[in-house]
Amino acid sequence: MSSLTGGSYPPTLEDAGEQDRLVQTTKDWTIAHGLAVRPPPALVGGSDPEGVLAMPAPVTLFPSPFPRTCFEDASAIQTKYNELYARISQDEEFLGALVQECVSNLAPEGASLMTTSNCVAGLLAAMSLLPTCGTCTCV
C-alpha cells in the first residue's frame, strides 16, 4: 500500500517486544487522556459495585489510510455542517417532535413513557424544563 503513504504501511515492527511496548504505550496514553470505557460486567465479575473501573477504549495502532481528496471534501463542507448542526440544536420545536416521535415508535401500544426508556424519558423531561430555566451566565 505504498502508493498512499510513500512507504510500507502498516510499518513492519522489529519484534514482538516492539509491538508489546507500542500496545502498552497506547493503552497508557488512552487512560491518561480520558479515552476510557467501563469494562463489561462479565469481565469484572461483579467486583466493581461502585462502577469505577475503566479500561482503555478500543483504538487501532495503525489506522487505515484515508484518501486526501476525501479529507479535503469533508473539510470543505465542515463549516456548513457546523452551522446546520448548531441551527438544529437551537430548534426546540423540531427536537421535541423528534424525541416524541422516538417515544411513539419505541412504546408498545398503551405503554407509558417511563416503561419505554428511562433515557428517552429523562431527555424529554429535561427538554420540557429548559424554557422555564432561562439562560445561564458563566461567572
pLDDT tens-place string over residues 32-84 = 999 998 888 777 777 777 777 888 999 999 988 889 999 999 999 999 999 99
Distance CA 125, CA 28 (A): 39
Nearest to 53 by CA among 43, 42, 39: 39
> Which grid coordinates are listed for 136?
445561564
Instruction: Of 13-17, 19-23, 111-115, give the lowest mean pLDDT range.
Output: 111-115
pTM of the entire predicted model: 0.48
Q: For position 63, what pLDDT does the model report?
A: 87
Distance CA 126, CA 81 (A): 26
Q: What's the Cα-to-Cα distance from 90 to each of 1, 85, 98, 125, rounded to whole Å?
A: 45, 9, 13, 17
